[in-house]
Amino acid sequence: MPSSAKTKKKAPAKKSPERRGASASARAPKSAPTKAAAKKSRPQPRSSKKATSKKSSTSKPASLAAAKKAAAATKAREIAAARAQRERDARARAAAKKAQLRQRAIVAARAKREREARARALAKERAAAKKARAIAAAKAKKERDARAKAAAKEREILRKAREKAAIEAKKQREIEAKRKAIEAEKLRRLREIERREAEERKRQERREAEELKRQEALERKMHSKPYAEDHEFLEELRDLLLTTRDATNAQIAVSELEANEMLVDRERLEYDDEDGSSVASDIQRDQLKEFTAALRLKVDEIDVALARIDDGSYGRCDECFEPISQPRLRAQLPVFTCVSCRASV
């Protein structure tokens, strides 16, 4: 390669150990490396470098990238210094060239690793942000779902409350309507009762008035004197009654005499009880006594009729208080009921 030829032609003279130490110290960072860094700066086989590079290329946290970068730089410098020290012989220029190329490769690899680390960190950050956004979105969705469920539950509760209130209001209206209907029915019945009572009072008043009129009419009839003005007719009835009483008294006397004679004859004569003649005599005498009692009752009735003729009330029916017809008063002595009342007795 031309670059290698140029480097071979311009190979500097060998430096003394003091100058090499000075140049190494000049190339080293200002901060003195620790013993651990010095140990790490020792040359290692390429397989171990690849393993470390692979290991370092694996997932590392973003926070250790700077420390790794510094450690890798220090390690590269130490490796270069160690190689320079081992190859300070005739291959100094070649070693320096190789060290330079190796340094460039290390820097490129380190830059690549850093880029990869940054990419991984950025991807991780993006994944974390995406995951966080997804978590936030899921949380927001859960919250929205929870709020929607809560709102739906509240709406359902409000709907049920409204339905319950509507049912209660409907029941209350029905109860109120029933109560009003019952009160209206009670009021109607009360008015009907009052109307009926008023009608009954009116009927009772009419009945009382009619009864009073009837009683007054009856009282007038009871004290009426149908033939009081007809003195001739009353005198005629008086004569007939007196004649009938005399005839009745005569019949009473005759009947009593016959009954006494039958009693004397029964005591004087001896009757044969076997043929029943004594029993027949007793029956005839009892009949005469009953006939005599009826005649005496007729005499008492004639006396009552004569008394009524005196006060003018004779000729009035004792049942209906209506006037008895004159033919009946003349035909039957005495008489106190009209034909219709006599027939209904």
Q: Which helix (H) or strand (E) holds 28?
A: none
**248 contacts 298 by C-beta, under 8 angstroms:** yes
DSSP structural state of residue 164 = H
pTM of the model: 0.39
pLDDT of residue 90: 66
Which of the residues in the chain have pLDDT under 70? 1-63, 89-90, 92, 95-96, 263-281, 345
Identify any residues that bridge with 154 across adjacent strands, giving them in sequence order: none
* 3-state SS assignment for residue 269: coil
Question: What would you report as the CA-atom Rg of the chain, rounded to the nearest whole angstrom?
Answer: 82
Residue 300 is given by DSSP the state: H
- Token duo for residue 119: 């990419």
Question: What is the predicted pLDDT for the residue at 177?
Answer: 92
d(CA 184, CA 66): 99
pLDDT value for 169: 92
User: Bridge-partner residues for 316, per DSSP?
Assistant: 323
- What is the reported pLDDT for 322? 84
Report pLDDT digits (tens) over 65-84: 888 888 888 888 888 887 77
